[in-house]
Amino acid sequence: MSATRRNALTVDVEDYFQVSAFAGHIRRADWASLPCRVERNVNLILDMLAQHGARATFFTLGWIAERYPALVRRIVADGHELASHGYLHQRASEQTAVEFQRDITLSKLLLEQLSGQPVRGYRAPSFSIGADNLWALDCLQQAGYRYSSSIYPIRHDHYGMPDAPRFAWRPTGELGLLELPVSTVRLLGRNLPAGGGGYFRLLPYFASRWALRRINSRDDQAGIFYFHPWELDPGQPRLSGIGIKTRLRHYLNLRRMEPRIRRLLADFHWGRIDEIFLEGASCRTTASD
């Protein structure tokens, strides 16, 4: 196991048909009629975490929690943090302030009722909070959230705020919401993704291991890593009629994901976001790097 510093492991709990890239191909009205895989996949993840004595934060869709309350209860019973991923996996950037406030309030209330635990964290679907909708952070604070992990400080064709700080910061001042970006490494004047997702499936495993070790040692920071349950499921149904870029991003190296996550669990010490960051955090209060 690498070093003794704990890194934050996070899981975005959504099913394969709920990803933003499929929104133009699968109607939300049809979700309930599609074969669900999320229960099998999350239970696999929970079993792996138990085997390695690791804990994590599960950013969970309200839609999923409502249909699988036993899964929510197991997440909490196994010692993990339950956090919000919204209710219907709608990008924050595609909602009005009123719609967003309704969504984050509903999902928080539902998760708390099902789990009996306070929900303090939120991650926007597709990291869809950025320079053009920072008002969403005020909405989150008003709804009672203590932190967000929604601003990704990289350049990407669908999201990103590359000038945002790479580590914990408070965008609205000392008493404001804590923003916890997914990990990046700084190379050649640019932030490169180092915190999981499709990049973890695309690049060789040693690249992610090197990046996390660099964040822990050179930056002296805890890393924040994320993945989705559907990424461990090569048997999921294949969607037809999607573009080649979307197909590659979603289906690339699904068979390699489970063994890679197992290696990651063995190579690093993992914990929950709330236990690592909420108490005594020292954070920037501006958007400068």
Tokens 């291991």 belong to which residue? Answer: 209
Distance CA 158, CA 269 (A): 31
pTM of the model: 0.94
Among 102, 98, 21, 28, residue whose Cα is nearest residue 63: 28
Q: Mean pLDDT throughout 212-233? A: 98
Q: Mean pLDDT throughout 229-235? A: 98
> Which pLDDT score is estimated for 157?
66
Q: Structure tokens of 167?
A: 């580590």
- At 63-118, the pLDDT tens digits run 999 999 999 999 999 999 999 999 999 999 999 999 999 999 999 999 999 999 99
pLDDT confidence bin for 287, thresholds 50/70/90: very low
Cα 59 from chain centroid (whole Å): 6
> Which pLDDT score is estimated for 283?
53
Among 95, 84, 80, 90, residue whose Cα is nearest residue 143: 84
How buried is 187 (Cβ within 10 angstroms: 0-12 exposed, 13-18 middle, 19+ buried)?
Answer: exposed
- At 6-51, the pLDDT tens digits run 999 999 999 999 999 999 999 999 999 999 999 999 999 999 999 9
- At 155-209, the pLDDT tens digits run 876 778 999 999 999 998 888 999 999 999 999 889 999 999 999 999 999 999 9
Please give the single-letter amino acid code of residue 252.
L
> Which pLDDT score is estimated for 159?
77
> Which pLDDT score is estimated for 52?
97
Give me the count of residues in the chain.
289
Which domains are present in the chain?
A: 6-277 (3.20.20.370)
Residue 268 scores a pLDDT above 60:
yes
Residue 137 scores a pLDDT above 90:
yes
